[in-house]
Structure 1
């Protein structure tokens, strides 16, 4: 029904078009009514097929979930498989995972760094961290971290190019730009950040561009410029003293980090343990505000 073509459905399923046609004919014989009508090169469902589709789709989803549980019963008893955006995985989650393993030596945590949205009906991923506005259809979503941005630099960079007491003080510094796919509409660029603070006569704001927030943070740690950093991505480097916020100035963002999993899914013990642990870690918070350097 979605593809409006038996041939396209066959390609997607990896079978022949004749096999699809034969299956449809068998079901129609069993039902005693036609289920599809031909409209030129396309097929469209009859009214009765269209009316039955929501119940059929729900039934197939439940069948998929049941077969998934049977297939993965052994692994699910000791493994939690997590997907997270690359920068969050590298800078926030991965450094903390050893604490989860220490707390729960009976479980294994497998981490996949990926921007692609997970199809829980076919993937072995148990739970995802998503960065976004929330409200994901068909999924349970619990916010674990809000997000904000603030200018940061390494102590060595500040010593060479500071002091930085006001926003205008960093206009002549080398600015590091995050152009990555993980950016969101609520996250300002350097131009927007300065403009919101009353600077309307800005120079070109030159500086290197990077396609991943984690790369921007790593460059700032290396003393190569000032980064407009996301709090969650930079907080471990700030807590360790590798970065310092330049001002007591954080801009809150409308996007946040969410734990998501299929609504109605029975969660095995390793997943429940991970959810409890990551919520506790998120509540701790290591970010330190700057006072002007």
Structure 2
């Protein structure tokens, strides 16, 4: 094993044979699977064993068993084959239709991007939306790009900040109609506050604690009346009059414009933002540039008042 480059080349050439033998447990069946003669399989495996100086399979009259070294290489060959299958499927989709697989949280999907999809088609963009909150989804599911809310940028990924984030208290029209601002209350204890559970614990600062700190308000008297697992559910509860929701950029603009929500206090700039992220390789393509440019046109240009 004194020539690593040579070892790698021979191992790559032998990968289909290793995968077939691992799958069938037989050189003969592996040859049938590959559509070649059995001696070709035996020769390829022996060449790799000679090059590495290790035995990969224990051969009996009935079965071929992997050695520990064989198991390691067969797993690598199987993983590599699966990666190529996924890449070829992505290539097929690209050639066949150019559809971009975009992941984003459900809150951003329902409150911002879903209504914009007809405009994407008008811009010659075919987008397939998939709901997800973690960047691991981007790596594991062969997605093209993702929209995420967080501190950013994200190591190992190409990141574009789509929009800064302003935190904005909002209420439905039926909640305390006599008040224009939560600061008009005699005591914060008299008000019902709603919060997104994820934002309160993921380090993004999307929570009442950070909002009040940014306002310089002592929040020790504040009680969170209701916690929600998703920001869009919390916003819908605010629309229905359950209490004060902590809105943020891209989640509230459409409901405010439609009259379902109204501002109930001043906005403050959050340390988090909304980001478009993808692999460095996808970032070099025309499809990414089209997606980025279109998304930037869909970000509302609102005066936050600060």
Q: TM-score, normalised by structure 2?
A: 0.66
Root-mean-square deviation (CA, aligned residues, Å) is 4.1
Residue in 1 that maps onto 2:109: 89
1:111 aligns with 2:132: no
Who wins on radius of gyration, i.e. which is larger?
2
Residue 72 of structure 1, aligned match among 93, 111, 114: 93
Once the 2 structures are TM-superposed, how far is the Cα of residue 179 of structure 1 from its aligned partner?
A: 0.8
Residue in 2 that maps onto 1:199: 218
1:174 aligns with 2:195: no
1:102 aligns with 2:119: no
Q: Which structure exhibits the higher relative contact order, with contacts defined as CA atoms closer than 8 Å and separated by 6 or more residues?
A: 1
1:139 aligns with 2:160: no
Alignment of structure 1 residues 51-62 onto 2, 5 Å: none
Alignment of structure 1 residues 5-24 onto 2, 5 Å: none
Q: How many residues align?
A: 254
Residue in 2 that maps onto 1:8: none
Say whether the 8 Å CA contact 2:166–2:267 is kept in structure 1.
no
Equivalents in 2 of 1:188, 1:167: separation in Å?
A: 23
Alignment of structure 1 residues 1-293 onto 2, 5 Å: 28-29=48-49, 31-34=51-54, 67-77=88-98, 79-104=99-124, 107-118=125-136, 123-159=141-177, 162-164=179-181, 166=183, 169=186, 171=188, 172-180=190-198, 184-187=202-205, 189-194=207-212, 197-199=216-218, 201-202=220-221, 205-250=223-268, 252-265=269-282, 270-282=287-299, 284-286=300-302, 289=305
Equivalents in 1 of 2:286, 2:210: separation in Å?
A: 45
Once the 2 structures are TM-superposed, how far is the Cα of residue 223 of structure 1 from its aligned partner?
A: 1.6
Going from structure 1 to structure 2, the CA distance change for 1:169 and 1:244 (only over 3 Å counts) comes to farther
Equivalents in 1 of 2:224, 2:256: separation in Å?
A: 25
Say whether the 8 Å CA contact 2:158–2:280 is kept in structure 1.
yes
3-state secondary structure, aligned to 2:198? coil
Going from structure 1 to structure 2, the CA distance change for 1:177 and 1:169 (only over 3 Å counts) comes to farther
3-state secondary structure, aligned to 1:224? coil
Structure 2: tracts of 5 or more residues without a match:
1-18, 27-40, 57-67
